[in-house]
Structure 1
Amino acid sequence: MTDALLLVDDWGPEKIVVVSHRRTGMKGVLVIDNTARGIGKGGTRMSPHVSVEEIARLARVMTWKWASVDLFYGGAKAGVVADPSSPDKEAILRAFARALSNEVPREYVMGLDMGLTEDDAAIVQDELGDRGAAVGTPEHLGGVAYDRLGVTGYGVAEAADAAADFLGRPLAGARIAIQGFGAVGNAAARRFAELGATVVAVSTAKGALHDPAGLDVPALLAAREEHGDDLVSRHPQGTAIPSGRELTVDCDILVPAALQDVIDEDNAPDIKARLVVEGANLPTSPRAQEILARRGVTVLPDFVANAGGVVAAAFAMDSRYSGFRPGTPAIFETISDRLRANAVTVLEEARRRDSTPHTAGRTLAEERVRTAMRSKGRIPR
């Protein structure tokens, strides 16, 4: 069992709240990492495997992500230990929201992460009787429909385009492999195709598909709509390959957009892509990043590449109590502008410092957070 006190360092967490409810069996945790730049904001996930340490790691990513895109919220994350397919999901979620009523929404605003849907965000609002308690609600309730709009995946492709251009390898004609074809992966594939790239491999929880000549992205999107994760066995194009092999196929750009910790020191030497764009949170280990850097492979960090969701969340946060929906064109324009500029800034800084983009990007984010902490008297001036 993780000793929560061992998770505390110079940045946070500021608060770890573990909650439970005997009747529903609900167990959950909220980690508020650092609020020097604003109240805690981050997704809430539901999984049987949620742990305090996992949520603390993800909350720290949110701290750097908000600072990296220079938006004024703090890092936080929450998790519920439950199966999202359980018939008791709503009761468990309502119990979780009630248990955090002291913190939500004054210190933390719930959002969507793995296992939760737009309707679940609406349930949280309903349970606490406060439109400000959660963002990510359905559009018909005034929310920003992140998954339907595909804001995170769109931002991943935009950041990849800017990074590829910076590295002198234009995205048009580039071969892309995408691990994960959920909300992030499928939206990224759509945008990559629009930008002229060729998607050569995709994967789901049920397997992977590979075609060196390029997969038909519109057909893949239609197959996902009809078959979900089973698209890999229902789609006629491409060759089935074992899950995980999509990470090491011959390609120019690799987008791990599924789970954390999928690229480690064991498979990093086999990565053939010259640019890795982190669509998921924490998909590469620090050791893997070092190995890839030595091999001349550039890794664009998660807190830069997949920050399209937090930009959209900032719009949603701003409109929580408004009678007007935020404008979709403004959301996409801001995501493109911020992520493209930030990708170039981080890669330039990495080149100047002769460091990995993770180190350079985190240093820039740390400087912003440290400045805010110093101004508020949280550290010596």
Structure 2
Amino acid sequence: MTITIDDRDHNLHAWVVVHSLGSLGGCGGVRCAPDVTLDEVKSLARAMTYKYAFFRQPMGGAKGGMVMDLDAPPERRRELVTALGRHLEHVLRTSAYHPWSDMNFSSDDVSALYAAARLPAPALNDDSSQRTARSTFAAVVATAANLGLRPTECRIAIEGLGSVGGYLARAIAEWGGRVVAVSNIHGAALNASGLPIGELLAMRQRLGDGFIRERGDWTNAPRAALFDAKVDILAPCARVGSMDQDLCERLSAKAVVPAANVPCTPAGEAALAKRAIPLLPDFVVNGGGVLGMVSHELDDPFFMTDFRQMIDRLLSASLAQGVAPIDLARRQSEQHHSAEPGDFFTPRSRGELIRAALRRRRLWPGNAQQAKALQRERLRETVNQLFRDA
């Protein structure tokens, strides 16, 4: 289902794509950029279907997109978000689409969207970016081990030093890895010996994305230069399709570990496969954000033990079978995809699903803490079973 919104009164151009419906509807963030397109939104909605199916969650995949300048004044942002919420009132009331935060669309924007639709906003988890970075970092650590690299030997490039990329860069630096290249829409910074991540992040906090143009203990370069840097792992944290065939044919990285959804064009993905460069599945690597929505209490031990070991198994199965990691993960998603439209029309809320599971375990009636513990344990069980028999 695709909803196209062209509101001339507010100069609003937006889309909502519901790729699939689970028993709880479809969920995905609202991506805001001056050049966002319907094709990008469709790709992202499909990726959300794969993500929820992979982690066996009762939600389908969806995505929103709205044309808006990255530096839109607060009053213009408010006008657009309010207009979008009014247009989406019906689809939000039916729970066919659950919007969430995304690039240039904050939790405050989500609340404003629901308010405009005259609906209560969901309980929002502001650390989605941090959890996405945690799962990505766990995948980076697993990939480095798979390549036989100690932290100090591992050279990493991060495309898109934004919210997720910033958290990821800090985690890598604390681990002992060398972040040798970072980029954003304004350019790139490179240092083969390792960038001063703390200094760069402090500058970003102070100056915004323009920090990348500042002078320091690094070389300033066009953003495309990041892809020519000599690295072991590339971590894309930017837009859909930023890695095309030409780029993937010249890439020096030994593995690609994406926090971004759908970072490669189809031709780019094929080029990586031809060169036997592992492309880890974006919808798995960045799954921390979705997992955090299901259970807000997932901690570092979960990501650095359960999640990392799952990535270990994926990489081992990929090597043993001669199948790209992303293709193995797609098979898992397709095998466990339960987003059937008929399920959506069965009136079962998330709370009812949790209570049913509690009853099966003779834990209901119970309290909210028991429900949270059950959610957490079910996620752990799911992750620990993945790729056991691959």
Q: TM-score range by the shorter chain?
A: 0.7 to 0.9
Over the residues paired in the alignment, what is the CA RMSD in angstroms?
2.5
1:30, distance to aligned residue in structure 2 (A)? 1.0
Q: Following the alignment from structure 1 to structure 2, what is the Cα–Cα distance between the partners of residues 60 and 135?
A: 25
- Relative to structure 1, the CA distance from residue 375 to residue 46 in structure 2 (aligned partners, 3 Å threshold; closer, same or farther) is closer
Gap regions ≥5 residues in structure 2:
346-390
Higher-RCO chain (CA-CA 8 Å, sequence separation at least 6): 2
Q: What is the CA-CA distance between 1:199 and the residue it aligns to?
A: 0.7
Match of 1:112 in 2: 101
Is 1:101 aligned to residue 89 of structure 2? yes
Q: Percent identity?
A: 29
1:275 aligns with 2:255: yes
Q: Does 1:340 align with 2:308?
A: yes
Equivalent of residue 68 in structure 2, options 66, 73, 82? 82
Q: Structure 2 CA distance, aligned partners of 1:229 and 1:340? A: 31
Structure 1 gaps, min length 5: 1-14, 137-142, 316-325
**Bigger mean CA deviation after superposition, 21-30 or 201-210:** 21-30
SS in 2 for 1:131: coil
Whole-angstrom CA distance in 1 between matches of 2:248 and 2:215? 29
TM-score, normalised via structure 2 length: 0.80
- Quote the residue 1:162 is aligned against: 142
Instruction: Indicate conservation of the 8 Å contact 1:265/1:287, yes or no.
Output: yes
**Structure 1 residue corresponding to 2:293, chosen from 289, 293, 313:** 313
Q: For the residues of structure 1 that align with 2:151 and 2:53, how far apart are their CA atoms?
A: 27
2:20 to 34, 38, 41: 34
What is the rounded CA distance, in whole Å, between the counterparts of 1:207 and 1:135 in structure 2? 36
Q: Write the mapping of 1:56-71 to structure 2, written as runs, cut at 5 A.
A: 56-71=42-57
The correspondence for 1:262, drawn from 239, 242, 253, is 242
Contact 2:20 2:341 in 1 (8 A): no
Deviations 1:214-258 (A, max 9, x none): 111111111111112122222411111221111120111111111
Partner residue in 1 for 2:180: 200
TM-aligned CA distance change 1:107 to 1:172, over 3 Å: farther
Mark the CA change 1:129 to 1:337 in structure 2 (over 3 Å): closer, same or farther. Answer: farther
Which residue is 1:144 aligned to?
126
Task: Specify the alignment match of 2:117 in structure 1.
Answer: 128
Q: CA deviation at 1:47?
A: 2.2
Higher helix share: 2
Contact 1:210 / 1:246 at 8 angstroms: preserved in 2? yes
Aligned 8 A contact 2:235 2:257 in 1: yes
Q: 2:198 aligns with which of 210, 215, 218?
A: 218
Task: Give, as a single letter, the amino acid of the residue that structure 2 aligns with 1:256.
Answer: P
Give the number of equivalent residue pairs.
342
Secondary structure of the 2:89 match is: coil
8 A contact 2:89–2:118 mirrored in 1:
no
Residue 242 (structure 1) aligns with: 222
Matched with 1:186 is: 166
**Partner Cα distance (2:38, 2:191) in 1:** 40
212 and 203 in structure 1: CA distance in 2 versus 1, 3 angstrom threshold: same
Separation of aligned partners in 2, 1:20 and 1:302: 31
Amino acid at match of 2:126: V
Residue by residue over 1:290-347, the C-alpha shift from the partner in whole angstroms, topping out at 9 and shown as x without a partner, is 32233232111211111222122334xxxxxxxxxx44xx355545456424423432
